[in-house]
Chain A
Amino acid sequence: MNPAYPEIDWNICQACDPCQARLVCKTRAIVQPDPGEPPYIDFSRCTRCALCVITCPCQAITTQNGHHPA
């Protein structure tokens, strides 16, 4: 498992509706209260699987060390 939590760079995020990373997150850790606004990550639910990092079409999600596995 990736040791670092992912981060969403809101400068890169295009606030897709629906957010593709949110859709694939099995633990519902990516929260997007307002469609059209960038989501955030609920770290209490995130399992650091990095599926969101791989899925985000904008590559707006990275791990904390800046590494993007895709």
Chain B
Amino acid sequence: MTSEQPTPKITDQTYLKNEQYRTEANLQARIALHRKYGTNPGSWFRWVYDHLFLPVGAAVLEVGCGPGDLWYENRDRLPAGATILLGDLSLGMLHAARSKNALSPGIRYLALDVQSIPLPSASLDCVIANHMLYHVPNLEAALREIRRVLKPGGWLCAATNGRNHMRQISELVQQFAGIDVLPLMSVRKFALENGPGLLSPFFSHVDTEIYDDNLRVTDASDLVAYIASMGRLDNQADQRTFEHLSSHIHELIEAQGYIFIEKSQGIIMATG
């Protein structure tokens, strides 16, 4: 059942920029599942922002800002006089972020690669990397750059997933369709478990905070859309496999009422 087409790598910047994250559509399909079926009634983006403690006049950079949801969802409490820089490799994402945050003053947009940040050294109070460090080909170069642009005492908020994050989805696809989606889902390169150790050489103090959430998916079509958004099963060659998987998910939900999906998600706060 497996296709000849190789699975795109999670760190393939050309694929990430020109296909997976060319527009916000794939990412929003995935965010939608979390918003609709998350067992935590709060908002992930509000929770992340709660941990930033941005001071008045803060200089902040979000690398891999995506469609700028963090800033949109916290637009009622952005710090006064702050300089907020949103950076992403994808121009489509920057365009979406700019449209979404058009009414928030003081936000600027940069096309950037975190491995070479076009900002002066010691110029920022806080850098945010929300679910993106595992996409970076040279993680060490990225962390060195983040440390460089942070002021002494500045902090990094790195959000990522744990190794068991949504494992039921990868197991379902792997077992039923025989297709390995792990290269796209896996965050082993920078996960909650190994992230602190990877940050330690660059920061004096590292703390992990876990976001308490799981998914109870009751509509099969939402889960099917999520899997399609990963960009591995939606091509013509895999159409039959995809249809089989889709009907299997429908049957499972019909029988059980829902599919439980375990989440493992959090932030690693690192201070220099």
What is A's interface to B at a CB cutoff of 8 Å? Answer: 18-19, 22-24, 26-29, 31-32, 35, 42, 45
Check if B204 is an interface residue, CB within 8 A of chain A: yes
What are 8 A-B pairs with beta-carbon distances under 8 A? A18-B271, A18-B272, A19-B153, A22-B271, A23-B205, A26-B51, A32-B152, A35-B153
**Chain A residues, Cβ within 8 Å of B152:** 18, 32, 35
CA distance A24 to B186 in the complex (A): 30
**Interface of chain B residues 135 through 155 with chain A (CB within 8 A):** 152-153, 155
**Chain B residues, Cβ within 8 Å of A24:** 205
**Chain A residues, Cβ within 8 Å of B153:** 18-19, 22, 31-32, 35
Question: From residue A54, how far is it (CB to closest CB) to chain B in Å?
Answer: 14
Check if B207 is an interface residue, CB within 8 A of chain A: yes
**Chain A residues, Cβ within 8 Å of B106:** none
**Chain B residues, Cβ within 8 Å of A28:** 53, 55, 155
By size class, the interface of chain B is: 10 to 19
Q: Give the secondary structure class of A's interface.
A: loop
Asked if residues A23 and B53 are in contact (CB atoms below 8 Å), the reply is no
CA distance A34 to B193 in the complex (A): 33
- The chain B residue sitting closest to A24, CB to CB, is B205
**Chain A residues, Cβ within 8 Å of B204:** 18, 23
**Chain B residues, Cβ within 8 Å of A29:** 53
CA distance A23 to B207 in the complex (A): 10
CA distance A19 to B153 in the complex (A): 9
Identify which of B51, B55, B271 contacts A23 (C-beta below 8 A): B271
**Interface of chain B residues 45 through 71 with chain A (CB within 8 A):** 51, 53, 55
Known contacts A23-B271, A28-B155, A35-B153; decide if A42 and B55 are in contact (CB<8 Å).
yes
**Interface of chain B residues 256 through 272 with chain A (CB within 8 A):** 269, 271-272
Asked if residues A26 and B207 are in contact (CB atoms below 8 Å), the reply is yes
Question: From residue B127, how far is it (CB to closest CB) to chain A in Å?
Answer: 14
CA distance A42 to B58 in the complex (A): 14
Question: From residue A60, how far is it (CB to closest CB) to chain B in Å?
Answer: 17
Question: From residue B124, how far is it (CB to closest CB) to chain A in Å?
Answer: 13
Question: From residue B184, how far is it (CB to closest CB) to chain A in Å?
Answer: 33
**Chain A residues, Cβ within 8 Å of B207:** 26
Question: From residue B120, how far is it (CB to closest CB) to chain A in Å?
Answer: 17
Question: From residue B114, how far is it (CB to closest CB) to chain A in Å?
Answer: 22
CA distance A43 to B204 in the complex (A): 24
Question: From residue A26, how far is it (CB to closest CB) to chain B in Å?
Answer: 7
CA distance A28 to B204 in the complex (A): 15
Asked if residues A27 and B271 are in contact (CB atoms below 8 Å), the reply is no
Closest 9 CB pairs of A and B: A23-B205, A28-B53, A35-B152, A27-B53, A18-B204, A23-B271, A23-B204, A32-B153, A22-B153
